[in-house]
């Protein structure tokens, strides 16, 4: 049995892929009502909360591998690591980012704390250090649909954007056969490095109307996210990450996705085509 710790964009896609392959898969969710589509797809759904270890212990029963994905609050993800140790789950595939202990972004320091706790646990582990998700553009979709324009503090910085569905596919693949991936770190990206102006050009092509990009200041970016309902601390970290884009921090690609999946990583054009309705 493979346990996926949340049903967000990566967790849901990984669960669907595993269910499609007829692999036993369980997903932990806080709200069963949000998981009806997964249950219908053959995913076992366990009600729980990563802040409550006893609920993780129930979901961990009979589990051989875990896909550890969540908003990456250290205490919560380390609860999962502790539960996996108690249950003798063999392997944890950890979804992470460009983690570093001295990052200016708290979320990346938190990821390092979790990675270190996992490595010290004695469990088998694989780290998936992912570049920024294409799905972040879905937050801009209402503005793009309304104004055919979007802004960011990302400036001219290029980003090796990855489709979260490819992150899910890699996580699922490793969770099914973890042995050869134990102790490894993979750097997951899409196939190309795109600036936000490049992304606007792709969206223009796919949507058949001109989409324009305009630069924002840090404060405008932070406020736009807060206005869109993002909690203030998260908006601050997201705006910090986007300002680092402008300085080339995410200007990297790697070939781990094609090597692990035996097919190319999805392009931004594929992502935009699949989500065209959201931008229209």
Ligand X SMILES: NC(=O)c1ccc[n+]([C@@H]2O[C@H](COP(=O)([O-])OP(=O)(O)OC[C@H]3O[C@@H](n4cnc5c(N)ncnc54)[C@H](OP(=O)(O)O)[C@@H]3O)[C@@H](O)[C@H]2O)c1
6 binds ligand X (CB under 6 A): yes
Is the CB of 71 or the CB of 258 nearer to ligand X?
Answer: 71
What mask, x for binding ligand X by CB under 6 A, covers residues 119 to 158? -----------x-xx--x----------------------
| DSSP alpha helix (H) spans, 123-163 | 141-147
**Among 23, 39, 41, 49, contact with ligand X (rule: CB under 6 A):** 49
Give the DSSP letter of residue 93.
Answer: E
185 binds ligand X (CB under 6 A): no
**Among 1, 30, 220, 267, contact with ligand X (rule: CB under 6 A):** 30
Cα first-last separation, the chain: 40
Kindly report the number of other CB atoms within 10 A of residue 273's CB atom. 14
Could you give the C-alpha distances from 28 to 41, 49, 55, 68, 188, in angstroms and in order? 15, 8, 9, 11, 24
97 binds ligand X (CB under 6 A): yes
Under 8 Å CB-to-CB from 79, ≥6 apart: which residues? 50, 51, 53, 56
Please list, residue by residue across 8-40, b when 16 or more beta carbons sit within 10 angstroms of its beta carbon and e when fewer do.
bbbbbbbbbbbbeeebebbbbbbeeeebeebee
78's tokens:
């380390």
Q: Which stretch binds ligand X (CB under 6 A): 46-54, 170-178, 191-199, 252-260?
A: 46-54
Whose CB is nearest to ligand X?
8
Is the CB of 48 or the CB of 124 nearer to ligand X?
Answer: 48
Is the CB of 51 or the CB of 145 nearer to ligand X?
Answer: 51
Is the CB of 210 or the CB of 232 nearer to ligand X?
Answer: 232
69 binds ligand X (CB under 6 A): yes
- C-alpha to C-alpha distance for 19 and 13, rounded to whole angstroms: 10
Please report, as ranges, the residues that interact with ligand X according to CB under 6 A: 6-11, 28, 30-31, 34, 49-51, 69-72, 76, 95, 97, 107, 130, 132-133, 136, 164
């Amino acid at each position: 049995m493979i346990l996926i710790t949340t049903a967000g964009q990566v967790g849901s896609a990984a669960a669907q892929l595993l269910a499609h392959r007829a692999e036993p898969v369980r997903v932990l969710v806080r709200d069963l009502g949000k998981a009806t589509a997964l249950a219908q797809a053959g995913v076992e759904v366990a009600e729980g909360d990563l802040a409550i270890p006893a609920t993780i212990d129930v979901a961990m029963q009979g589990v051989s591998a875990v896909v550890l994905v969540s908003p990456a609050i250290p205490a919560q993800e380390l609860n999962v690591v502790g539960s996996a140790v108690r249950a003798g789950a063999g392997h944890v595939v950890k979804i992470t980012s460009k983690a570093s202990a001295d990052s200016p972004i708290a979320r990346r320091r938190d990821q390092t704390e979790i990675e270190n706790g996992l490595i010290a646990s004695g469990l088998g582990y694989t780290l998936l250090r992912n570049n920024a998700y294409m799905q972040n553009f879905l937050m801009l979709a209402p503005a793009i649909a309304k104004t055919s324009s979007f802004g960011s503090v990302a400036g001219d910085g290029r980003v090796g954007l990855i489709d979260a569905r490819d992150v899910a596919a890699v996580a699922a693949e490793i969770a099914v056969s973890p042995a050869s991936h134990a102790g490894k770190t993979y750097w997951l990206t899409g196939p190309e490095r795109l600036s936000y102006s490049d992304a606007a050009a792709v969206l223009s092509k796919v949507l058949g109307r001109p989409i324009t990009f305009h630069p924002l200041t840090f404060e405008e970016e932070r406020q736009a996210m807060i206005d869109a309902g993002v909690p203030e601390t998260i908006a601050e970290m997201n705006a910090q990450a986007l300002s680092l884009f402008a300085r080339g921090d995410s200007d990297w690609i790697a070939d781990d996705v094609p090597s692990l999946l035996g097919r190319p990583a999805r392009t931004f054009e594929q992502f935009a085509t699949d989500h065209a309705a959201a931008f229209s």
